[in-house]
Chain A
Amino acid sequence: MDFTNLASQLNAGVILPESTVVITLLVVLVSDLLYGRASARWTPYFAIAGLLVAFGLLCLQWDQPNTLAFLGSFNADNLSIVFRSIIALSSAVTILMSVRYVDQAGSAIGEFMSILLSATVGGMFLSGAEELVMIFVSLETLSIASYLMTGYMKRDPRSNEAALKYLLIGASSSAIFLYGLSLLYGLSGGKTHLADIALALGNGTENTLALVIALVFVIAGVSFKIAAVPFHQWTPDVYEGSPTPVVAFLSVGSKAAGFALAIRLLTDAFPALIEQWHFIFTALAILSMILGNVVAIAQTSMKRMLAYSSIAQAGFVMIGMVVGTEAGYASMVFYLMIYLFMNLGAFACIILFALRTGTDQISDYAGLYHKDPFLTLALSICLLSLGGIPPLAGFFGKLYLFWAAWQAGAYGLVLLGLITSVVSIYYYIRVVKMMVVKEPQEMSEVIKNYPVISWQPFGMRPLQVGVFLTLISTSLAGILSNPLFTLVNHSVADVPMLQGHPLVARNAAEKARSPLAVVGFPINAQDKS
């Protein structure tokens, strides 16, 4: 094998953003090693700068002609660029939030950021991975880093419990996922590239049982990552026990990576089983929307409530995936972009509240408006946006999602989505009402002892910047959503697997058929023509 020739074929330039993040990671690590805790003054800013540079490089790579790199292991098409940007930005905002949080807990920020950055690298590679080995290695990078961050507050039994739970459930779901991948490898006769696998599997008429088992196992692994019901059991406990910035990253960055994996793996490798996986995801979406929204009502802890809310939000996003049209995928990506800002904004606010008061009980928020109007405003806007109140960003996200689903004929899903959205508005508004409406005499004990607002202590400024940025994005992204629409439409139009596929068109035509009849139903060869 000629290695000089090989080097030119690698097209290694497309992983420049990831390389930037890796270099940032190394610099943070080495400076932490050399200068100790003194380096904590500037390494967070350096890490954010590195992530922003990576984001800038991603923007520069938009619409590049040659997207396949590393002999087909990695695909840097526009879709992956959108997902990688979401992950990089969520990581940057997470670092803004975590400086004060980690410092106040007496923990070291250097190692925390190293682990967070490697999780980011894993997530970014996962968004563009086109090959089974690459998918698995990047998924594990993301997962193991997440387990470590979950247990970062190691003297807290809640954190230990969360880490152990996450690790055990995550390891078994990885094992199931890997079993599914190995079935794919065997069924395709030893192929690892997704496109080759799809080619080798043909139209899915033979080996239906094995294919369906592979599909179910793969979906089980993916659903764990995006916390879809019934693979959500870890979510509330892990979200409650983890350091809050980690929860923010898990609920946005990690989830976005999971969706990127789901889109790429399912559309690229399983075009033959499109009806089956659409059916499974429909079921997952329905369950997630209902369970997430209904159980969130009963929560007393803010973190737990947001955990269930994030399950429900994943359900909404899945609607975009199962309708299978170009608009569906575009709306899904769009919603994830909006979700990035509003969810991170909500987490930034509850981190700020927890750092000042040491609690995250919903009842303790009562009367916050009288003591800290800015925090109240920011949290209210983020929560209302999550609920989908116009004219905030979340409203447009949901509007686009439901419109795309309606166009594709998924009336039932849209109706369910609307109903559960109303339910979700109830519990979001409850918090807002608690903060705003209560009279001064109804204030909670915590609020009565609310400290003087000061942005001076170490690490408060980045948190303030984080709250501001997400607040502005959440309020303006809705109004200025047109450029974002164009962006996501463009990114989806770029991917051949997501549109123009004969099966997709056929699927839309056959939508009227009951989804139940589809499961395990072998697709006929005549059907295809």
Chain B
Amino acid sequence: MNLAEGVQFVSFIILAVLVIGAALGVVLFDKIVYSAFLLGGVFISIAGIYLLQNADFVAAAQILVYVGAINVLILFAIMLVNKKENYAPIPRRWIRKGSAAAVSIGLFVLLSIMLTRTHWSVDLSVASPALPIETIGEHLFSDYLLPFELASVLLLMALIGAVVLARREEIEGETTAIVGELPAPALELPERPREPVA
């Protein structure tokens, strides 16, 4: 093992521990803010793993998109929500927690067995391209052109949807309704809600 390989190995171990530890923290912390900050840690550590695999563009994009946009958005949502609600403790909650843990561990064991047993037909002889960004660009504009373009429709629609959900509606009638009368329900389903089953 030469110097470069040693450094890579040690960095991989550190990053792996960081990813797993932070991810466990995300799941196990009771305080949601800690979970959100640790999620950022998970993203950054994963970017580090990408970097170890010579995928530097993906690593930078991971930081830009996941840490810079998604995680900040999550934090915003958490910090802007100012509602305190004390939920009644669920009796025998440990059963749920235990079964969730059991299922997760079972899945983990299954997937680990699968990973070790499988012969991955990976061709290691392929050299990484000299200009990764240009290679990505060529792919996006040749064989992945259609999904790339469809993604623009997806983003446009997500944008419209976000505006629809977030905007403050000015409903006709709500201000003009006769005093004492309830205005006609707006932005609600025309069907009456069911009577709750007693």
Contacts and interface: CB of A to CB of B under 8 A. Distances in A.
Contact flag (A, B; Cβ within 8 A): yes
Interface of A: 1, 3, 6, 10, 15, 22, 25, 29, 69-74, 101, 104-108, 111, 114-115, 118-119, 121-122, 125, 131, 133-134, 136-138, 140-141, 144-145, 148, 151-156, 158-159, 186-190, 200, 206-207, 209-210, 213, 241, 243-244, 300-301, 303, 354-355, 358-361
A144 B189 contact: no
A137 B165 contact: no
B157 A144 contact: yes
A148 B188 contact: no
Contact of A104 (B122, B172, B190): B190
Given A140-B154, A148-B157, A148-B164, A187 B120 contact: yes
Given A70-B145, A154-B165, A190-B122, A121 B150 contact: yes
A104 B173 CA distance: 12
Contact of A361 (B141, B184, B194): B194
Contact of B190 (A151, A213, A241, A355): A355
B93 interface: no
Contacts of B177: none
B121 A115 contact: no
A4 B77 CA distance: 47
Interface residues of B, number: 46
A152 B164 contact: yes
A187 B160 contact: no
A312 to B, nearest CB: 22
Contact of B143 (A71, A104, A106, A300): A71
B125 to A, nearest CB: 12
Given A73-B147, A121-B153, A210-B114, A156 B189 contact: yes
B150 A138 contact: yes
Nearest to A74: B146
A106 B191 contact: no
Contacts of B111: 213
Contacts of A10: 145
Contact of A114 (B110, B120, B160, B185): B160
Contact of A118 (B121, B153, B169, B171): B153
Given A106-B171, A125-B150, A154-B187, 16 more contacts: A10-B145, A25-B153, A70-B143, A105-B187, A107-B187, A118-B153, A134-B147, A141-B157, A144-B158, A156-B188, A159-B189, A186-B122, A189-B121, A206-B119, A300-B194, A358-B192
26 contacts: A10-B145, A105-B189, A105-B190, A106-B184, A111-B161, A118-B154, A121-B153, A125-B150, A137-B150, A138-B147, A138-B150, A141-B150, A144-B157, A144-B161, A148-B161, A148-B164, A151-B165, A156-B189, A186-B120, A186-B122, A189-B121, A206-B119, A209-B117, A354-B191, A358-B192, A360-B191
